[in-house]
Structure 1
Amino acid sequence: MARIKRIMPIILALAILAGALGGCGSEKTAESPEQSPEASDGAMPKEKASYPSDGKFTLNCSLSSSFNPMTTTDLSNILVTQLMYDNLLEVDAAFNYTPGVVTECKSDDGSGWYFQVDTNAKFWDGTLVTAYDAAYSVQCAMRSPRFSDRLDCVIGAEAENDDTFVININGKNTLFPVLLNIPLIKNGSVGETIPMGSGPYVLNGEMSELAVNTHHENAASLPVDKIYLTEITDIEDKISAFEDAKIDLVTNDPMSFTNLGYGSANEKRAYATTNMHYIGFNLSGQYFSNTLFRKAMTYIIDREYIVTNIMNGMASAATLPFHPAGEYYNENFSEIISCSVSKAEEALDKAEVKDYDNDGLREIMVTGIPIETGIDFIVCSDNVYKIQAARSIVKSMEALGINVTLRELPWEAYKTALTAGNYDMYYAETKLSADFNLKAMLFMGGPLNYGGISDSTLEGHISAYMSASDEERQKVANLMFKYLTDTAPIVTICFEKQQVVTHSGVITGLRPTQYNIFHGIEEWKIDLG
């Protein structure tokens, strides 16, 4: 297996470089013959591939790491805990919340929230779940490194009785429930190695297998009675174990340096994430303080080319800082500001970024004197996909007569330049919350507002969206989208996809989400041969 590890990065780099960076409407590259068919809709091939099944359904884990869902940071164990713990609420593939332990939620003002729990739900030991357990879980999540960021708006959580608990938040957020896809643990148990949970499976004392929680509402319809655990820490050994069917399901981030080359007879199901790639600007600089210049960038960037040719389809192109799969995304704005050379030229001319001296390059006017453009563009060099995406943007800008210097910086140098404002534009990625709250990025003083955005009208649109009723939200969203596209404080490129990898023909009914790979596991069918 060592040879695979050495050659895979080389193949990856050559494949990306081979897709010569193009302009709007560039041809799409053919699918790699080594890539297994995507099954993002859950559809499976008609024929099951042959593989050395051991008759057991097995997951990887880390025995040296915690299985406490509030504290563990190990990715394998996080996956296992999704089977052990029910969530208060679930979030579906369209980023809407659906019932979990919480069956109803309501708020009169978007600040004070009342939640009703399923009083028939039981923990592994058969005791009933109460609102006290749910409120306690929220309190623990507020201090958890996994969940504290999304819950930083929470003032407090408290149970009113066995059935109902209350959460008060700072400000108004009528989408707040979508943030409560957090695990339920028993009141007072967070300090335990394995807190009491209510999920469909329970871990045995030897931490070697998961057995069906007979008290769970879906116990009779779960696809297997036992899920076995094994510990494999080496990356090459993990790939070998999967190919030998010693592991039956893995997750993969194809956009990360940790991307693993699972081959042979397997299936990859892609699922949407809130990981957004975008271009940010230094709004106090001489170039992008010009709103029209920023807007021109929305037409210059060929998102479809980047997603298809560079990211191998492992992202969804987007013109708005909202996922296209979301309920309130408006495709009309994508059509208005999608890549167009003619629209880009027109926008640049309106921005007075023109070829004043007929040398084939565009200039800006400074005190009546044409000055050659010289955009300082930074990107983190730790990710080959981001580098190639940034290079494609440079190529598109240069084709329109804009001089650009791309600085590919190591992570620490990139962070330093970003926080110091030492750039004109930057390529970035951020993980948005499921409510797509843009305050951290676009409010003055926000922790992700690196470009110095200060726009009270924009802040008003965002606040209106976050506090809108269900009936008014699309209308309010459209007003916000129009303002975002008109002013272009940032330019969205895409949202990443990630993958669940399984052996071909083994699992049907799988519908993974960013927050729960095993969402709807009671509908799975597992054929181990």
Structure 2
Amino acid sequence: MTDSRSLLPSRPASRRLVSSALAALAALATGVLLAGCTSAVGEQSATSGSGSQGPVEGGTLRVAATTDHVPASVFGQSSDVGNTLIGLVYDSLVEYPQDSLDAQPSLATSWEVAEDGRSITLQLRNDVTFHDGRPFTSEDVRFSIETFADPAWAVQVQRTAAAVIGFDTSDPHAITLEFAHPLSNILDLLDIVPIVDSESFPGLKEASTYNGTGPFRFTGWRPGTGMTFERNEDYWKGAPDLEAVDVSVVPDAQAQVAGLRSGQYDLALGVTPRDVETLAQDPKFDVHDFEGATQQQYLGFQLKNRDLQEVRLRQAIAYAVDRERIVEELYRGSAVASGLPWSPSSPAYDEEKGQTYARDVAKAQQLVAELGDVPTLPLQFAAGQPAGETIAQIVQANLEEIGLEVELKPTEFAQMYKQLVGAQFEGLWIFGHTYAQYTPATLTVSAFPFNAAHNASNFVDEQYRADSDASWKVADPASAEAEELFDRVNDHIVDNVWLTDLVTSHPRVVTTSAVHGIDYSKRTELLLDEAWKDQ
């Protein structure tokens, strides 16, 4: 199997000039439409704003985020602020579009996978520097992948990074990676891993320095309050238009909405779907949908809990949950209900099997009756998170209907993440996961809820691990062999139900109509290198 991509040589032209020219041409035709803006009113306002006809340089973008940075899990997609940090400060070797697995060049200009699938050779850009001015080289690629392979960082792609066992860095602008076995998800890894600087790494560990090659420089973190960034004037794609980004931690969704309305914030990451509907009707705001960067909410079962070791109880709970109610009440119809984890675009997506545990109260009650008395089950969820709180209340009501008592246990987000990594939940829990939009093997060998080697439920099954690992080692994830293995993995999830997925949604971000050009990575990170703001 081979795969090769290439970039045009030399430094790209300034995006500011290109964007201005394109904007002028578009204005002569039908007007400029903001990409990703789903509100009809918002689309109109995107061209009106302050009468702007194209990108404007300068200004600070003020962002309201729901969860604060967790330094110990900086690479773990563990918080809104942390994800924003990665998206602004760092680049990866390749970039996936939101809607496909067709990797595009980034810090790597081209690559080729060996015929036996046991190595990949990448050509690297020679015009990139870190924020401190040091040139980017192949040694930085080696260091970054080795960092992700270190279990101390608790990253969800640790097993894939650890399967890279050899590095040829003899050429500073090229690198060959050797694998322990063929890796169907090697490009996933190269998209997910941010390129970090080894020389300033101690500062990263202390959350005092984040030195990347990305469009914005880290300038400070105020724990519990927020994080600040300034533009990288030497960014290899051209300096961003925004002068700075100020991210504030605002856990309360209503406070985010109030801040948008009062002009305190320009962009809010945690607006509830109900408020999104309302704001979409107001010409002062725009709603941006990023459908390829999917996110899932799931209900987990701790198998160290003696009662939950009984698969019939887990099945009863899975049958009882009203996923469609969650879709309608919480997501206002902008989500997909399924008991399997995959995004609809995934090669492993199976609509029929995903409905195996479609709501069936009678069947759930029958299973509970077979079990007899079941003690009260603890149900943890992230405190202050509207999605977790709403889903927890719906699940509690659903389980009461089938004769199960649930004790709701709101838990601080950082503690939830710690329990996820350490597989330390007490009984039931509600949390989100991602990676379902990548090559399927990335989920089953990497994501904490599904990792066949060690997962948050403490579920152990040798056949599940064998099938997951086999799909990981099939070089072509689109092959018939891989498809058969994905089908078997789905059977394991359905039959053993150590967790049950609830809904798949995508980020919906609200901005004022003065904000343009924002984007989201497939990794669910906010991207602002092409963003600008009416002045």
TM normalised by structure 1 equals: 0.66
The structure 1 residue matched to 2:87, chosen from 61, 82, 87, is: 82
Paired AA for residue 269 in structure 1: H
Residue deviations 1:187-240 (CA, integer Å, cap 9, x gap): 6454577676443456899x87425436x2x43xx7x54423458678899877
CA distance in 2, matches of 1:196, 1:389: 38
CA distance in 2, matches of 1:71, 1:390: 27
Residue deviations 1:87-125 (CA, integer Å, cap 9, x gap): 223244357354321232536666x54340333442269
The structure 2 residue matched to 1:183, chosen from 182, 189, 194, is: 194
Do the aligned partners of 1:106 and 1:113 also contact (CA within 8 Å) in 2? yes
Q: How do residues 292-371 of structure 1 correspond to structure 2 at under 5 angstroms?
A: 294-312=314-332, 316-334=336-354, 336-337=355-356, 339-341=358-360, 345=362, 353=367, 363-364=369-370
Do the aligned partners of 2:323 and 2:502 also contact (CA within 8 Å) in 1? yes
Residue deviations 1:374-422 (CA, integer Å, cap 9, x gap): 36332126356445434434544554xx321111124399999x97896
Q: Which has the larger radius of gyration?
A: 1
Q: How do residues 45-444 of structure 1 correspond to structure 2 at under 5 angstroms?
A: 45-48=43-46, 56-60=58-62, 79=84, 82-94=87-99, 96=101, 97-102=103-108, 103-104=110-111, 106=113, 112-123=118-129, 129-142=136-149, 148-151=155-158, 153-155=160-162, 158=167, 159-167=169-177, 173-180=183-190, 181-185=192-196, 188-190=199-201, 197-200=212-215, 209-213=230-234, 216=236, 218-219=237-238, 225-229=241-245, 243=261, 248-252=266-270, 254=272, 265-271=284-290, 272-280=293-301, 282=303, 285=306, 289-291=310-312, 294-312=314-332, 316-334=336-354, 336-337=355-356, 339-341=358-360, 345=362, 353=367, 363-364=369-370, 372-374=372-374, 376-380=376-380, 382=383, 385-399=387-401, 402-411=402-411, 423=427, 426-433=428-435, 435-437=442-444, 440-441=448-449
CA shift, 1:329, in A, is 1.7
**Aligned twin of 2:468:** 462
Do the aligned partners of 2:467 and 2:485 also contact (CA within 8 Å) in 1? yes
CA shift, 1:278, in A, is 1.9
RMSD: 5.1
CA distance in 2, matches of 1:457, 1:194: 44
1:503 aligns with 2:512: yes
Residue deviations 1:356-385 (CA, integer Å, cap 9, x gap): xxxxxx6327xxxxxx44363321263564
Do the aligned partners of 1:41 and 1:511 also contact (CA within 8 Å) in 2? no
Paired AA for residue 100 in structure 1: S
Residue deviations 1:130-149 (CA, integer Å, cap 9, x gap): 32232233344556987745
CA distance in 2, matches of 1:511, 1:443: 26
Paired AA for residue 61 in structure 2: L
Residue deviations 1:430-489 (CA, integer Å, cap 9, x gap): 535452125754568725124xx3322222222222223322322321222133223433
Which moved further from structure 2: 230-239 or 487-496?
Answer: 230-239
TM normalised by structure 2 equals: 0.65
**Residues 231 and 324 from structure 1, CA distance in 2 versus in 1: closer, same or farther, beyond 3 angstroms?**
closer
CA shift, 1:518, in A, is 1.6
**Residues 77 and 148 from structure 1, CA distance in 2 versus in 1: closer, same or farther, beyond 3 angstroms?**
closer
**Residues 505 and 483 from structure 1, CA distance in 2 versus in 1: closer, same or farther, beyond 3 angstroms?**
same
The structure 2 residue matched to 1:486, chosen from 495, 498, 510, is: 495
**Residues 295 and 94 from structure 1, CA distance in 2 versus in 1: closer, same or farther, beyond 3 angstroms?**
farther
Which moved further from structure 2: 469-478 or 228-237?
Answer: 228-237
Which moved further from structure 2: 490-499 or 275-284?
Answer: 275-284
Paired AA for residue 374 in structure 1: V
Paired AA for residue 128 in structure 2: K
Secondary structure in 2 matching 1:482? helix
**Residues 117 and 128 from structure 1, CA distance in 2 versus in 1: closer, same or farther, beyond 3 angstroms?**
farther
CA distance in 2, matches of 1:279, 1:481: 16
The structure 2 residue matched to 1:448, chosen from 433, 438, 456, is: 456
Paired AA for residue 59 in structure 2: F
**Residues 228 and 160 from structure 1, CA distance in 2 versus in 1: closer, same or farther, beyond 3 angstroms?**
same
Do the aligned partners of 1:95 and 1:326 also contact (CA within 8 Å) in 2? no
Do the aligned partners of 2:296 and 2:433 also contact (CA within 8 Å) in 1? yes
**Residues 42 and 82 from structure 1, CA distance in 2 versus in 1: closer, same or farther, beyond 3 angstroms?**
farther
Which moved further from structure 2: 127-136 or 458-467?
Answer: 127-136
Secondary structure in 2 matching 1:269? strand
**Residues 436 and 444 from structure 1, CA distance in 2 versus in 1: closer, same or farther, beyond 3 angstroms?**
closer
Paired AA for residue 322 in structure 1: W
Q: Specify which structure has the higher proportion of helix.
A: 2
**Aligned twin of 1:528:** 534
What is the aligned-residue identity percentage? Answer: 14
Do the aligned partners of 1:51 and 1:244 also contact (CA within 8 Å) in 2? no
> Unpaired runs of 5+ in structure 2?
1-34, 221-227
CA distance in 1, matches of 2:340, 2:429: 16
**Residues 185 and 486 from structure 1, CA distance in 2 versus in 1: closer, same or farther, beyond 3 angstroms?**
closer
CA shift, 1:503, in A, is 1.3
Paired AA for residue 267 in structure 1: D
Paired AA for residue 251 in structure 1: L
Do the aligned partners of 2:121 and 2:174 also contact (CA within 8 Å) in 1? yes
CA distance in 1, matches of 2:218, 2:425: 49
Do the aligned partners of 1:278 and 1:492 also contact (CA within 8 Å) in 2? yes
**Aligned twin of 2:18:** none
Residue deviations 1:134-176 (CA, integer Å, cap 9, x gap): 2233344556987745335534563242343344567764213
Secondary structure in 1 matching 2:370? strand
**Residues 438 and 154 from structure 1, CA distance in 2 versus in 1: closer, same or farther, beyond 3 angstroms?**
closer
Do the aligned partners of 2:307 and 2:374 also contact (CA within 8 Å) in 1? no
Which moved further from structure 2: 51-60 or 312-321?
Answer: 51-60
CA shift, 1:317, in A, is 2.7
Do the aligned partners of 2:400 and 2:406 also contact (CA within 8 Å) in 1? no
Secondary structure in 2 matching 1:213? coil
CA distance in 2, matches of 1:241, 1:139: 41
Alignment size in residue pairs: 449
Paired AA for residue 322 in structure 2: D
Paired AA for residue 436 in structure 1: L
